[in-house]
Chain A
Amino acid sequence: MDQLKSLREMHAYMRLAREWDLRFEKMFRTGALSKWYSSVGNEATTVASASAIEAGDSLLTLHRDSGAILRHYLDINELLPGILPQDPVIREPMGGDSQQRFLRLACQMLGRENGFSSGHERSYHYNLFEEQWGLFHIGMISHLGSMIPVAAGTAFAFQQQGGDRVAINFIGEGATSTGDFHEALNIAAVWKLPFILVIENNRWAFSTPTSQQYACDHLSDRALGYGIPGVQVDGNDAEAVLAVMQTAVARARSGAGPTLVEAMLGRHRGHSEGDDSLQQVPEADLIQYGEEDPLDLAEKRLIDSGVFSRAWIDEVKERCASLMIKTVDQAASMPEPDVHQARSLYAD
């Protein structure tokens, strides 16, 4: 039953993330948004990973990690009262004002003044630090792989400062081909940094299949070369990812060093919305990815348990979708940035 409660907790955030992306995909299609990268299909990996950390830890994300962001920032009960039992099973929600954060996140996606970068940076290319709540989120730059050493650097700060805080960072399988992947993992291993690197292997980097990206059987095997544990996991299975991540986080907190996690996923959307990169993916593979959808898997398990009904699943979906419409509409009505504003290059 406890396991079922864990899955229910993750499922609510996964559904929130799915509806988030579906809403913005729609806005992209109507021309209300100039660019969108979808996280659809990554929810089990991202939500489960963020479920394994807590306030005080650092989170570094990519453009397919809305699940991790929503899970890490928000108390879903504050947004949708009563959607989960008051006592969390896996992790305590982040303290602070979830409503406010959620609205600002939507503003960030839409380039509004109230977004975290006041319209200067696109979608997930921002940081959110709220020190008083232990929220330390660093977004990406477009150069994939570049944030791996930066993430390891936040782990280095934690190690220097003592305590048991950890850093987690998501990358795609394509970024494992960069020099920064090697340099950062090697230093993290030598220095035993409290760092978990999660590869979201959705098998396609823009249009490049794994057969043209690397020649090893499993990217997780590369961990052996760094002298650290490497684990491959079904990234569509939130419970499996949670178990792997909890082990990796416990290892990092104990001072034993980093872990490399490879979550096997499928590619559900184009590299960015509106491009034709999915045309490179064979039809049969696309069908298979769809059949392995992480939301469907979680919902099937919940229903098969006999404890949760299809009606309950539908209610969660309905409430999340309504919330998205309301929040994104509200964000869209908020002020655009003043195009004449000066923005300082240097910290004072």
Chain B
Amino acid sequence: MQTDASTESDDTLYIDAISSALADEMRADPTVVLMGQDIAGHGGAFKITRGFLEEFGDQRVRNTPIAESGTIGIAIGSSMLGIKPVIEMQFADFISCGFNQVVNVAAKMYWRTKQSVPLVIRLPAGGGMGAGTFHSQNIENWFLHTPGLKVVSPAYSNDAYRLLRAAIRDPNPVLYFEHKFLYRRERSPIQKQPVRDRILGESTILRSGTDITTVSWGWMTHRTLEAAEVLAQEGIEVEVIDLPVLSPLDHRGIIASVEKTQRAAIIHEATCTGGFGAEIAARICDEAIWSLDAPVRRIAYPDSPPPFHKGLEASRIPSPERICSELRQLLDA
């Protein structure tokens, strides 16, 4: 477990940033309680809570039965009476078993009753590891279509750290998508201060460019940056925008960028039809269609469940090569 001794740290693995944020927030706020399957003695399927039972005790680190709906409901009820629950879904895919509690109870509670539900659900999501159909999905859009939820999708260790702390402090239900492929591959410095207490819409320009705007989140941001490097050698300058927060969506940075570059592509690992790329494309069309020199393009997973075989899976996840190819086509359009 990381300690809170320094405010700046050296390169930190994405997975360790998540552990640190959880531990630091539990030390700062005794009302934070963790719930999840196998999170106590075992430390969770990905070992994110290893050592937590010893430090925080079994009252605050709760193994739950295999009961996603029951667990989320209990977290909701407790959050309305002074507890700040953080649930670990063992895999993001399993939240479907608790869907009603998320979309009808938690999401609508504040609008219906003005009672806040300060709840965080951590969702280990995404593919790339040959984990099969029900351990690989990207399901953020199920929840982006539900008013009342906040949804985050950090691509970097620092965002993973600061957004988790802010999510726990936010008085609203937050779905925190953490990408499993990044757990032990993404490593970068984290800054522990300041700690914000709200999740607000944000977008980050990671690379400035004049020819095409890309919008992505999670693992796909890394792949888009790889593609942008390649294209830069061909003289194509891509402006790469990362969305660490998907809901509430702040699309102003996207619109400003598209007005400059006049071309836009959205890259996501989730399936294409009805995906969040469609929403972003629609907003670009609503507000900047007269700036566009080409149709807005979505580079996404084909409409299929994730296959098991690594080669089959890899053929579906947008690769840097595919991103390069589609962005070149967009420039030629």
Contact = CB atoms under 8 A, between A and B. Distances in A.
Contact of A157 (B62, B82, B104, B105): B82
A163 B72 CA distance: 24
B185 interface: no
Interface in A152-186: 152-158, 160-161, 167, 179-180, 182-184, 186
B116 A347 contact: yes
A344 interface: yes
B81 A157 contact: yes
Interface in B182-228: none
Contacts of A157: 77-83
Contacts of A117: 112-113
Nearest to A120: B112
A343 B114 CA distance: 10
A146 interface: yes
A138 B74 contact: no
Contacts of A156: 74, 77-78, 83
B319 interface: no
A346 B148 CA distance: 6
A125 B115 CA distance: 13
A149 B82 contact: no
B171 interface: yes
B148 A160 contact: no
A59 B172 CA distance: 22
Interface string B222-246: 0000000000000000000000000
B110 A345 contact: yes
B59 A160 contact: yes
Interface string B279-298: 00000000000000000000
Contact of B113 (A126, A180, A345): A126
Contact of A150 (B59, B74, B110, B171): B74
A225 to B, nearest CB: 13
A154 B77 contact: yes
* Chain B, interface residues (CB within 8 Å), range: 35 or more
Nearest to B119: A153
Given A146-B101, A347-B171, A187 B147 contact: no
B2 interface: no
Contacts of B65: 183, 186-187, 190
A58 B81 contact: yes
A127 interface: yes
A125 B171 CA distance: 21
A146 B110 contact: no
Contacts of A160: 31, 33, 59, 78, 83
A149 B81 contact: no
Interface string B73-106: 1111111111100000000000000001100110
Contacts of A153: 73-81
Contacts of A37: none
Most B Cβ at <10 Å: residue of A120, A184, A345:
A345
A67 B111 CA distance: 26
A173 B231 CA distance: 64
A136 B81 contact: yes
Nearest to B74: A153
B67 interface: yes
B64 interface: yes
B108 interface: yes
B81 A151 contact: no
Given A138-B80, A160-B33, 16 more contacts: A127-B114, A141-B108, A143-B104, A146-B105, A148-B73, A149-B70, A152-B74, A152-B77, A153-B73, A153-B74, A154-B80, A160-B31, A184-B70, A184-B73, A345-B147, A347-B116
Interface of A: 58, 116-117, 120-121, 125-127, 129, 136, 138-139, 141, 143, 146-158, 160-161, 167, 179-180, 182-184, 186-187, 190-191, 343-348
3 tightest Cβ-Cβ pairs between the two chains A and B? A153-B77, A149-B73, A183-B70
